[in-house]
Amino acid sequence: MTPLPLHNIRVLDLSHLLPGEFATLYLASLGADVIKVEAVQAESFADEGLLIHELVNRGKRSIMLDLKTESGQRALHKLAATADVIVEGFRPGVTARLNADYQTLRAINPRLIYCSITGFGQDGPYMNRPAHDLNYVALTGILIKNAAPHGDAASAAPHPIPIQLADVGGGAMPAVINILAALYAREKTGEGQYIDVSMLDGTLAFAFLLLNTPSTILMGGAMSYNVYETKDGRYLSVSALEKKFWQHVCEKIERPDLISLGNDTQANVNELRQLFRTRTLDEWMNLFDVDQTCIAPVLTPEEVERDPQIIHRGVLKRDGERLLVAMPSRFGDMPAHLASPAPKRGEHTEEILKELGLTIN
């Protein structure tokens, strides 16, 4: 079997929250040997007994080190000498106090790629502020738009979005992309480098269109791009932005007079809402030619697992009561695969220390 692309890369994961752990999960899924460096006492998902620990630490080994002690730091330095990548998520300045910062470890291993994931980056007036996903989404202008565009009383106020956009999209994904780019650059230069990932910066990347246009077409203000309730209390998503797709919708609902109004945010969307309430979701899905326009049912989490396209691609995999996401990309004919189960905290401490020629104190 062809080895995964990162099979000869070693990653040290010093993070303890979702952005860093999700980033290293991706690297593990690509074949990297990810060693999770667990603190003896730490505020982590593992300590809280949360399911998320098991979801984001699959495919990793775990070593427990007390980085506040000389012996713990010595072990980390030995590990750093063997590593290609380090990912950490401490606030600025913390790693320096632990002798685990880039300058210290680069002196040990000049080829090291060191990625820091923080909320606001390593500089600026907010650099030392604590924050979570909701705060970053709020600061980027995304949250204010997560409300009814026409002042519907039930949802006019901003409310949290149901995914960790800043943690995963603004933190983990930029980290993975830049780590892979740095590994490629190292092949040419032989040198490692430092990567400063700000979750606020990364989340802003998702808001580039929102910040550049006042249009509400993509925010529920247009007929052609909206969510409609059906007769049975279900919902249908319509995203027929192109004229050919919207024309198909209008022809099927027998309203050719609306063809020219699809992307008009001044048109009366409520009229169409009333129309879609006259049939059930299944009736609408059967009416439209799904190969001719952009429509999809709004699925419940239970239905997502049963969707035929999702089943066919094999990205969602069930492990007992847990629903896991496999690596969502394919290399050649390699099928979607799951990394091995998450380790217990410190499970591989003795094994890894032996590899380094060290023993447990």
Strand-pair partners of 258? none
C-alpha to C-alpha distance for 172 and 168, rounded to whole angstroms: 5
| 167 in catalytic set | yes
HSE of 233, CA atoms in CB hemisphere, 13 A: 1
Q: Which of 84, 101, 133, 167 is catalytic?
A: 167
What are 266-271's contacts with CB under 8 Å, separation 24+?
Answer: 267/222, 267/223, 269/150, 269/220, 269/221, 269/222, 269/223, 269/226
Q: What is the dihedral of CA 133, 135, 140, 145, to 10 degrees?
A: 90
Q: How many helices (H) and strands (E) does the chain have?
A: 14, 11
CA distance 193 to 184: 11
State the greatest distance between any 2 C-alpha atoms of the chain, in Å, as a whole number: 79
With helix as H, strand as E and coil as C, how does 2-37 read? CCCCCCCCEEEECCCCHHHHHHHHHHHHCCCEEEEE
Q: How many residues does the chain have?
A: 361
Selecting among 66, 132, 196, 264, the annotated active-site residue is 132
Residue 132 annotated as catalytic: yes
Quote the tokens at residue 150: 């026409």
**257: CB partners within 8 A, 6+ apart:** 250
Q: Any idea which residues carry the catalytic annotation?
A: 132, 167
